[in-house]
Amino acid sequence: MKKMKAVTFLAAGCATAMVITGCNSESSGSGDGGGDGEQKTIEFMHLWPEGSSKDHYDIVNEIIADYEEQNPDTKVELEVLSNEQYKEKLQVTSTSGELPDVGMTWPGGFLEPYVEGEMFAPLDDVLDEDGLRDSYVEGTTEAYEMDGSTYGLPLELNVAQVFYNSAIFDEYNLEEPETYEELEEIVSTLQENDVAPIALGNQDRWTGSLWYMYMADRLGEDNLLNQAINGEASFTEEPLVNAAEKTQNLASSGAFTQGFNGLSDQEAKSMFMSEQAAMYLIATWDLPNYTTDESVSQDFRDAVDYFDFPTVEGKGNQNSYVGGPGVGLFVSEESDVKEESKDFVKYFSEEWGEKSVSDAGVIPATKVNTDNVDLPDMYLEVLEDLNNADNLTLFADVQMSPDVAETHLTAIQSLFGEEITPEEFAEMHDEAIEEDE
Amino acid sequence: MQSLGASEMNKVMSNKLMITLYIFPALFLIAVLIIVPLILTGYYGLMDWNGIGSMTFIGMENYINAIQDGAFWDSAWHSLLLALFSTLSLVIYLAVSMILASKIKGADLLRKIYLIPMLLSSVAIAQLWIKVYNPANGILNTILRGIGIENPPAWLANPDVVLYAIFIPILWQYAGFYILIYYAALKNIPESLIESARIDGANPLQIAYKIKLPLIMGVVKVTVVLAIVGSLKYFDLIYVMTGGGPSGSSEVMASYMYDLAFSTNNFGYGSAIGFLLLIITLVVTVIIRKLTASKEDIQY
C-alpha cells in the first residue's frame, strides 16, 4: 500500500514536472513536448500600456483573443512597456539575443541598426501573400524597406496637413488657399489685423522641416526631393534651393509665431488651440484634438478645419503628402516560432485597420473603406485623401540616416533663423549625404 | 568587560586582511559602477559602433575626429563659459551667506527661500523658465513690454543670447546649495574671534575679509572645484530647455555627447567625446587644485 502511494506520488510528480517543462518549451518555442496538444507561444512586446493608451491596448487584446480562438495551438504572451522603456528594452534584448518574437519598430533610421545586425526577419513573403501589399497606402511599406526587403508591417500613418481656425478665417473673409501665393496673401491679411498667422515650434526642428519638405515636394515635382535625399540628385538644384529660399522668406516675413526657434511644438500647439494663431502645420496624429477630445472646447473643435498644402508657383500636386508611418510590427530573425509569428503579424495587420480608426482614432497604414466606419467628418476626409494619395514623401528625419537627419534638422533651424543662406543650406545637405555613403 | 583600547584598535587596523575586508564593499561598488564603465567608454571610443550591431575597431579615428570637430570645441567653450560664470557667482553666494550668518532679522526665513530651487527637480525648473522666457506670453517679455521695450528678444530662439538666458536658471538652481555650505562654514567660526576683532576696532568689512574668509578658505576651495566640475559636465536644463539649439548655440559637451550617441546612433564617437569630457574635467580639476593649494590651513 505504501509502495503504491509512493508510485502515484512519483507519477503525479512526473506529470507536474512535464507540465512545467512543457510550459517552458512553449515559451522557448522549441516544441519538444510532442503530441497533438502541442502549444506554441509567441512573445509579443508592444508599447501601449493600459494606463496611457487604453484604446490601443484594448484593440490589441481583442485581436489576440480572436487569433487565439482561431489558432488554438498558439498562445500569444504579452509584454507591455511605455515608449521610452520599450525602446530601451528593445535595445538591451537585441544585444543579448533575446528579442521578443514579435514587436514594434519605427521605420527608417531606427530600423537601420537592427537590420544591419540581422535581427529582424524580412517580411516580403507575408506581404506578397493574398495581396496584402496592395492594401497599404502608397509609400508606407517602403518606409520599412532596406536593401530591397521589407522588415516591418506598418500600423499607423500620419500625414501633415495645414489645420486652420475657420472662425478667424471667416472674420477676415479668408478662404482655403489652393496656391502658395494665396497663402501668402492670407498671411499678410492676418498680419495687418495683428493676428499671428502660423503657429510654429521650431525648437523641435522637425516642425520647421515639414514646411521645407512640402515646399520642396511641390517645387521639385517628379520626386526631385526624394532623389536628392537618396544622393541621386543634388540639393543645389534650382527648385530645391528655391524651396529653401521661399521657406526662409516666409520665416523672415513674420508669418510664424515670434521666437519660433525657441518654442517647442507643444507651446506652438497650445497657441493654436487657444486661438492665438490662425494656422498650424501638423500631422494627423493631432486629429483627436480637433474632433473627439472632450477636454477641448466644442466651439474650437467645430472651428478647426484643414487644407492640403497648396501648390507653389503652379507646380506640384496637392494629392502628394509629406508624412510617414509610425510604428510597425517586426518579426525577430532568431525567433523559434518564426512561421507562427509571421502568420500572427499578417492577421494582426489585417484586423488592425478598421478597428484602430473606429475605436482609437488612429489613421492606419492600410486603406480604409470609408463607407464602413462611423467617424467624425474630418477623419473621413483624411481617409479619403489617403485613398486618393498619389505620393507619400516620408518625413525627412525618418527617411534620412540618423547622421544626415541631424544635419538636416540643424540646418533647418539655421535656415529659419537666417543664420545660413539657402545655398549654404543646400551644400550642408549634399556634404552630409556624401559623407554618409 | 573592557572596551576596545586604542592599542587593540591599532592592531586591528594594521591587519592587512581586516583593511581589505573593510574597504572591499565600497571599492567593489565603485569599481563596478564607475571605474569599469569609465574604462569601457574609453574602449568604445576606439570602435565604430551604432550601439546595437557589431563593433569594428578603428583605432584613434574617433578621438582624432573629435579633436578636429569644430562643433565639439564650440560646446567645450560653452561649458567653460558656464564654469566661469558659476565660479564668479560664488562671490555673490558668499556675500549673501555672510549677511545671512550675521544676526539679521528674518535670516532664517531667507535661508529657506534661497533653498527652494534646490528642492525642485531640474525638469520642473526647466519648464518653469521656458514659461518665463516665452517670447509672446512669458512673464519676462510681458514686463519688458510693460516698461516700454518694444521688441524684447526671443530669449531661447536668439543664438546670441540663448546661452546666457539658460545660465541664469542654472545659477539660480544651485544658489541655495552653495549658500547653505557657506552658511554652515561661517556658523562654525567661534564667536570669540569676531568679538575680539571688533574690540580691536575692525569694521564689518575687515572682519569679513580678514577673519571670516581666511577661516573658511578650505570650504571655498571645495566649492570652486564643485562649481567647475559640475559646470563642465552640466546637462539637464540645457537638454530640456533648448536641446542644445538653436543651431548648436547652447550646446555643451554633455549634451553634444548625448546627441551623438542617442540621436545619431553614433555610440563610438559619442563615447570618444564622453572620454574627452572626462579628461578635460580631470585636467581642469588638477589645475584648480594646484592653483588653490596653500601650504597650510589657516588657524587662529
Q: Residues A152, A168: one domain?
A: no
Kindly determine whether residue A91 and residue B51, on different chains, have CB atoms separated by under 8 Å: yes
Q: What is the pLDDT of residue B4?
A: 57
Q: What is the DSSP string of A20-34?
A: HHHHHHHHHT---S-
Q: Residues B28, B112: one domain?
A: no
What are the tens digits of pLDDT across the range A194-251? 999 999 999 989 999 999 999 999 999 878 998 998 889 999 999 999 999 999 999 9
Q: Residues B244, B184: one domain?
A: yes
Kindly determine whether residue A410 and residue B51, on different chains, have CB atoms separated by under 8 Å: no
The DSSP 8-state label assigned to residue A136 in this structure reads B
Q: CA-to-CA distance for A220 and A426, rounded, in angstroms? A: 14
- Nearest partner of A435 among A411, A402, A413, A412, judged by Cα: A402
Q: Is residue A18 part of a domain?
A: no
Q: Is residue A381 part of a domain?
A: no
Per DSSP (E only), the strands in chain B are: 47-48, 56-57
Q: Residues A432, A288: one domain?
A: yes
Q: Is residue B55 part of a domain?
A: no
Asked if residues B111 and B100 have their Cβ atoms less than 8 Å apart, the reply is yes
Kindly determine whether residue B157 and residue A262, on different chains, have CB atoms separated by under 8 Å: yes
What are the tens digits of pLDDT across the range A105-133? 988 778 888 898 889 999 999 998 888 88
Residues from chain B that touch A417, judged by Cβ atoms under 8 A, are 157, 159, 246-247
Q: Residues B98, B168: one domain?
A: yes
By residue range, what is the domain housing residue B35?
1-44
For residue B289, what is the enclosing H or E element?
helix B267-292
Q: What is the pLDDT of residue A169?
A: 95
Chain A, nearest residue to B250 by Cα: A262
Q: Is residue B117 part of a domain?
A: yes
Q: Residues A307, A334: one domain?
A: no
Asked if residues B245 and A203 have their Cβ atoms less than 8 Å apart, the reply is yes
Q: What is the pLDDT along chain B (300 residues), one digit of tens a residue?
A: 455 566 777 777 778 888 889 899 999 999 999 999 999 999 999 988 877 777 889 988 999 999 999 999 999 999 999 999 999 999 999 999 998 888 788 888 888 888 888 889 999 999 999 999 988 888 999 999 999 888 888 899 888 999 999 999 999 999 999 999 999 999 999 889 888 988 998 888 888 888 898 889 989 999 999 999 999 999 999 999 988 878 889 999 999 999 888 888 788 999 999 999 999 999 998 998 888 876 556 665
Give how far A38 is from chain B: nearest CA, Å.
35
The DSSP 8-state label assigned to residue A261 in this structure reads G
Q: Residues B39, B66: one domain?
A: no
In this prediction, does ipTM exceed 0.90? no
Q: Residues B22, B148: one domain?
A: no
Q: Is residue B300 part of a domain?
A: no
Q: CA-to-CA distance for B287 and B159, rounded, in angstroms? A: 31
Q: By the CB < 8 Å criterion, does B66 face chain A?
A: no
- Best of B130, B137, B240, B247 to substitute, by most chain A Cβ atoms within 10 angstroms, is B247
Q: CA-to-CA distance for B52 and B142, rounded, in angstroms? A: 48
Q: Residues A168, A146: one domain?
A: no
Q: What is the pLDDT of residue B123?
A: 92
Mean per-residue pLDDT for A77-104? 87
- Quick check: helix, strand or coil at residue A158? strand
Kindly determine whether residue A417 and residue B157, on different chains, have CB atoms separated by under 8 Å: yes
Q: Residues B35, B65: one domain?
A: no
- Non-local (6+) Cβ contacts of A334 within 8 A are A97, A99, A119
Q: Is residue A389 part of a domain?
A: no
Q: Residues A136, A222: one domain?
A: no
Give yes or no for residue A69 having a pLDDT over 90: yes
Q: Is residue A397 part of a domain?
A: no
Q: Is residue B258 part of a domain?
A: yes
- Best of A87, A198, A209, A263 to substitute, by most chain B Cβ atoms within 10 angstroms, is A263
**Which amino acid is it at A158?**
N
* From B154, B248, B259, residue closest to A262, measured CB to CB: B154
Kindly determine whether residue A402 and residue B155, on different chains, have CB atoms separated by under 8 Å: no
Q: Is residue B171 part of a domain?
A: yes
CATH number at residue A95: 3.40.190.10
Number of structural domains, chain A? Answer: 2
* Confidence (pTM): 0.80
Q: Which residue has the cell 500647439?
A: A269
Q: Residues A133, A165: one domain?
A: no
Give yes or no for residue A1 having a pLDDT over 70: no
- Identify the residue with better confidence: A101 or A10: A101
Q: Is residue A8 part of a domain?
A: no
Q: Residues A177, A286: one domain?
A: yes
- Quick check: helix, strand or coil at residue B68? coil
Give yes or no for residue A164 having a pLDDT over 60: yes
* From B52, B264, B266, residue closest to A91, measured CB to CB: B52
Mean per-residue pLDDT for A329-334? 93
Q: Is residue B35 part of a domain?
A: yes
Residues from chain A that touch B245, judged by Cβ atoms under 8 A, are 203, 205, 261, 410, 413
- Extract the C-alpha cell encoding A380: 473621413
Torsions phi, psi for A150 (to 5 deg): -100, 130
Q: Residues B208, B79: one domain?
A: yes
Q: Is residue B50 part of a domain?
A: no
Within A274-359, residue ranges assigned H as helices are 287-290, 298-303, 338-355
Give how far B54 is from chain A: nearest CA, Å.
7
Residues from chain A that touch B54, judged by Cβ atoms under 8 A, are 117
Mean per-residue pLDDT for A146-161? 91
By residue range, what is the domain housing residue A242?
158-321+404-436
Q: Residues A426, A297: one domain?
A: yes
* From A116, A402, A413, residue closest to B247, measured CB to CB: A413
Q: What is the pLDDT of residue A25?
A: 38
Q: CA-to-CA distance for A126 and A135, rounded, in angstroms? A: 13
Give how far A34 is from chain B: nearest CA, Å.
36
- Non-local (6+) Cβ contacts of B230 within 8 A are B86, B174
Number of structural domains, chain B? Answer: 2
Q: Is residue A221 part of a domain?
A: yes
Chain B, nearest residue to A260 by Cα: B157
Kindly determine whether residue B154 and residue A259, on different chains, have CB atoms separated by under 8 Å: yes
Mean per-residue pLDDT for A164-173? 94
Q: Residues A81, A104: one domain?
A: yes
Q: Is residue A386 part of a domain?
A: no
- Best of A93, A206, A207, A258 to substitute, by most chain B Cβ atoms within 10 angstroms, is A258
Q: Residues A206, A149: one domain?
A: no
Q: Is residue A350 part of a domain?
A: yes
Chain A, nearest residue to B266 by Cα: A403
- Return mean pLDDT, chain A: 86
Q: Is residue B299 part of a domain?
A: no
- Extract the C-alpha cell encoding B102: 550675521
Q: Residues B73, B121: one domain?
A: yes
Q: CA-to-CA distance for A41 and B68, rounded, in angstroms? A: 52
Kindly determine whether residue A406 and residue B263, on different chains, have CB atoms separated by under 8 Å: yes
Give yes or no for residue A27 having a pLDDT over 50: no
What is the share, in percent, of chain A residues with pLDDT greater than 70?
92
Give yes or no for residue A55 having a pLDDT over 90: no
Give yes or no for residue A18 having a pLDDT over 50: no
Q: What is the pLDDT of residue A77?
A: 92
pLDDT band at A21 (very low <50, low <70, confident <90, very high): very low
Q: Residues B167, B252: one domain?
A: yes
Q: Residues A206, A248: one domain?
A: yes
Q: Residues B39, B74: one domain?
A: no
Q: Residues A283, A361: one domain?
A: no
Question: Which B residues 146-185 touch A at CB under 8 Å?
Answer: 154-159, 162
Q: By the CB < 8 Å criterion, does B275 face chain A?
A: no
Q: Residues B12, B129: one domain?
A: no
Total number of residues shown for chain B? 300
pLDDT band at A16 (very low <50, low <70, confident <90, very high): very low
What are the tens digits of pLDDT across the range A276-294? 999 999 999 888 889 888 8
For residue B251, what is the enclosing H or E element?
none
Kindly determine whether residue B53 and residue A113, on different chains, have CB atoms separated by under 8 Å: yes
Q: By the CB < 8 Å criterion, does A424 face chain B?
A: no
Q: Residues B105, B131: one domain?
A: yes
pLDDT band at A17 (very low <50, low <70, confident <90, very high): very low
CATH number at residue B202: 1.10.3720.10
Q: What is the Cα A221 distance to its own chain's centre?
A: 24
